[in-house]
Amino acid sequence: MKSFEYADEEIGQNEIGYVIPSVVIGAGILSLPRVLSEDTVNADGWLAILVGGIIAVFFTWVVTKLASRFPKKSFFDYCSLLISKPLAFILTAYMAMYFMLFASYEIRFVATLSQQYLFASTPKEVLAFVFLLVVTYAVAGSRVALFRLHQLFLPIIIGILFIVLLMAVPLIDMNHFFPLFKTSGTGYLKGTKSTLLSFMGWGALLFYTSLMNKPKKATKAGMIGMCVPIILYILLYVAAIGVLSNVVAANLTYPTNELAKVIEVPGGFFERMEIVFFTIWVMALFTSSIVFFDVSVVALNSLFKKVKKITLILVLAPVIFLVGMMPQDRLHLSKFSEILGYGGITVSIVIPTILLIVAKMRGVKGHE
Amino acid sequence: MFFKSPKKNKRKEQDHSKQEDFSTELSTSLEQNIVNIKKMLDQPSDLITRPFIVGETGPACAIIYIDGLTDTKVINDSIMKNLQIGVDEIESRSEETETALLDRLSHHFISSGSVKKVTTMDEASLAILSGDTALFVEGTDQLLVIDTKGWKSRSIEQPTTEGTIRGPRDAFTESIRTNTMLIRRRIRDANLRFKSQQIGRRSKTRLTVAYIDGIVHNDLLQEVNKRLESIDLDDAPESGYIEQWIEDSFLSPFPQMHNTERPDKVATALTEGKIAILLDGTPFVLIAPATFGAMMHSPEDYYERWMIGTLLRILRYFAAFLAVFLPALYIALVSYHPGLIPSKLAFSIAATREGLPFPAVIEAFLMEITMELLREAGIRLPKPIGQTIGIVGGLVIGEAAVSAGIVSPVMVIIVAVTAIASFSLPSYSFAISIRMLRFSFMLAAAFLGLYGIILAYIMVNIHIVNLKSFGIPYSTPFAPAFKSDWKDLVLRVPIPMMNRRPKFLQPEDEKRIDKEDQS
């Protein structure tokens, strides 16, 4: 049966535009004001976000340019064209592992957070396991359905964030912002680095662009998509500093949640807003997790073409769970995220750049 | 073994002899034909055979029909009267063959709207069984089938399941002809198509696919036809059988086709580019494809002014939210996150819950199940008693349960609000799905509180985005996003602004209103 244009396993530019913010908005946003406040003074961190954001947008451009050169080709396929097959195999495997680790991290993060805010006595293994089940259920479905999930959830997530921001406005103390530009150069540099790490995720486009019906449009959609979290991050950061002040933000584990805590719902319907905020935030963490999980499945599937998708999922899910449960405490967890950060730099910045340069120099192009 | 075999043989012989008794071929002998028909149908008491002679001295004839399925007035006035009294010229042409005579009878004398010449016994018997009259003439192995269908049927009444304040009051009936008439009366388009087929190996029920050529997407039509062809049932007493046979996923709690008894709803669906499936014998017509958004629509949204329509829709989404989440939220808040409730309210809830024997989950399940029982009982009971049982049962049980100290008054309020919310959904099948979901959300809340609720919500969403109705994603036009269709989703913009047919159906003729004509 020839099906409807939009009912097949292809995606358009809209979907790509939705994926980027869905991936980026996740674990990072909760701790971002803290990370920035550690390195910058007063509200200077917004500049770091902006610079980090511009870098992120630039590399989104690099990634989409590279991927859209080879329409309908998987990462492994065009990698083999550019740099011999064995090297491509290693690269793809490395990427699959990176995304898998990232999925583990997200799942662990959900468990830790929900243990902290909702269930002090329920073991984190149970919380992570239930979450992983839902993620697996999503990934096991059709791939375009994942993109539809982003389309459904992203407006909710951004809407909730905006409500929190709006309600925080009356609480902002302007004194927390001034004086401006007091941060040293290294401070800005460090801040930029840490924001850049929280923007990681555009690497997913290396794999998803091959699903597009018009890959050329990926560039624009991806860059617009990247701008959404940048704007949100800046607004959120400014609000967090304005309400909590730099010093307080630097000493809270998840300042964004605390921001949700201090605001009050008119009418007094809910006390402790941060629980409601976190509950809805589970959706944001979920949308990131499904992308990481799915991309690692896509990557592995391009390596092992004969293996069924569902088999890969069933093999990966327990691994993700076990890896996610490995870090013993928060210290280990932040080590984990650091490793992920460096992995992210190689996956999202170094590898695509090298590949694009190679492609340009050798003039290799995929066939339409 | 030895003893059994003769018996077996005997039975076989019997079957054989029964088969041999009559011929399934039409013979030229009138008498033989009548005998064959009677044997085929095994001498039914409602089969009427009426032998007569055409004109004064014409050939022997007979009509056969089933009493009750036919309109005797038509038989008397347009067959019998004409053939017995009106025919004078038969004698003068006595030299002509019987077949030519048959043609002449059909051309000149039988004044019924539809006459068909039939040459096989199967066709003849099927025609007789569906209410037509067969006319046999001595000396020919052909016969005429005259349309005399006319049986008692319910008159057109008000829709019982989909009431509106403003809007047409007619509903479909059990007769498919009446139903197609109701649709035709609304759409006088030459491109409106009704394609009929028979469903059911035994029942041979008539099924009609209705669509508007030039609007409907060809793939959709082909898909519907392909699935209808695959149906292999003995009997199709209700369109629900068809729906369940051709739907995409039987594991889904959501209805994947609309069912409605409102002709206006079907008419608008057809003009949007959807397909309607009508089945004889049921007033419920199926509309395909169905989407989540369309389940929330009521025809009345379009009849009232746009602001009212929009407001009602928002209210309905809110009602669906309440119907799914309210008891679950109560359970989660009371048993896991009491800190979330404002302290004053928390105190009053805690005070009412003091001394209650059950945890909130059991309490909620107890009341919800009671509510479902009351609803179910109210439907089965005769109408006057049904309403009483609702009021008496609801009030008395609620009041008594509270004063007996089994459930808290807050729980009663929550159950009542939930029930009212689920009544306000326009599609009954969809409301049932919502009721089912409610229980799973309550379970999720009982296990993992708010976290469980949000995960359950995500799971429902995953299911919806994966679900398709005839190749069309159930979540359209939310996702995949068709922004131009959002004019008629949660909002209902003024009619002149809805100048395009829904894009997600990819209609061949997209324009509903020509902008040029408007100004």
User: ipTM of the assembly?
Assistant: 0.93
Record: contact A279-B478, CB cut-off 8 A = no
pLDDT for res B1: 44
Taking a contact as any Cβ pair under 8 Å apart, which residues of chain A between 241 and 270 contact chain B?
A: 268-270
B451 in A contact zone (CB under 8 Å): yes
**Higher per-residue confidence, B382 vs A4:** B382
Q: What percent of chain B has pLDDT over 70?
A: 93
pLDDT digits (tens, 9 = 90+) for A213-259: 888 888 899 999 999 999 999 999 999 888 888 888 888 888 888 88
pLDDT of residue B126 exceeding 90 = no
Choose, out of B451, B454, B463, the residue to mutate when testing the contact with A (most A CBs < 10 Å).
B451
**Higher per-residue confidence, B419 vs B20:** B419
CB < 8 Å to A149, chain B = 461-462, 465, 479
A137 in B contact zone (CB under 8 Å): yes
Residue type, B453: I
pLDDT digits (tens, 9 = 90+) for B294-310: 999 999 999 999 999 99
CB neighbour list of residue A307: distance below 8 Å, 6 or more residues apart: A300, A301
CB < 8 Å to A310, chain B = none
Record: contact A283-B454, CB cut-off 8 A = yes
Least confident of A220-234, B93-107, B408-422: B93-107
Which residue in B has a C-alpha nearest to residue A278's C-alpha? B451
B480 in A contact zone (CB under 8 Å): yes
pLDDT digits (tens, 9 = 90+) for B183-230: 999 999 999 999 999 998 888 899 999 999 999 999 899 999 999 999
Query: Contact at 8 Å (CB) between B127 and B118?
Result: yes
Q: What percent of chain B has pLDDT over 90?
A: 45
Query: Which secondary structure element, helix H or strand E, spans residue B7, and what is its range?
Result: helix B4-21
Phi, psi of A318 (to 5 degrees): -65, -35
pLDDT of residue B314 exceeding 90 = yes
pLDDT for res B95: 58
The C-alpha torsion from B29 through B34 and B37 to B40, rounded to 10°, is -100
A61 in B contact zone (CB under 8 Å): no
Of B217, B341, B465, the CB nearest to A148: B465
Question: H/E/C letters for each residue in B227-281?
Answer: HHHCCCCCCCCCHHHHHHHHCCCCCCCCCCCEEECCHHHHHHHHHHCCEEEEECC
pTM score: 0.90
Distance CA B444, CA B448 (A): 6
State which residues of chain A have pLDDT below 70. Answer: 1-8, 268-270, 367-368
CB neighbour list of residue B420: distance below 8 Å, 6 or more residues apart: none
pLDDT of residue B519 exceeding 50 = no
pLDDT of residue B381 exceeding 90 = no
Record: contact B479-A149, CB cut-off 8 A = yes
pLDDT of residue B257 exceeding 80 = yes
pLDDT for res B72: 86
Name which of A137, A126, A112 is nearest A30 in CA terms. A112
How confident is residue B54, by pLDDT bands cut at 50, 70 and 90? confident
A141 in B contact zone (CB under 8 Å): yes
Distance CA B400, CA A244 (A): 52
B443 in A contact zone (CB under 8 Å): no
pLDDT for res B23: 72
Of A145, A151, A280, the CB nearest to B481: A151
pLDDT for res B455: 95
CB neighbour list of residue B241: distance below 8 Å, 6 or more residues apart: B233, B235
Distance CA B93, CA B49 (A): 27
pLDDT for res B508: 86
Phi, psi of B492 (to 5 degrees): -135, 100
Record: contact A134-B217, CB cut-off 8 A = no
Crossing angle for the helix pair B428-466 and A143-168, nearest 10 degrees?
A: 100
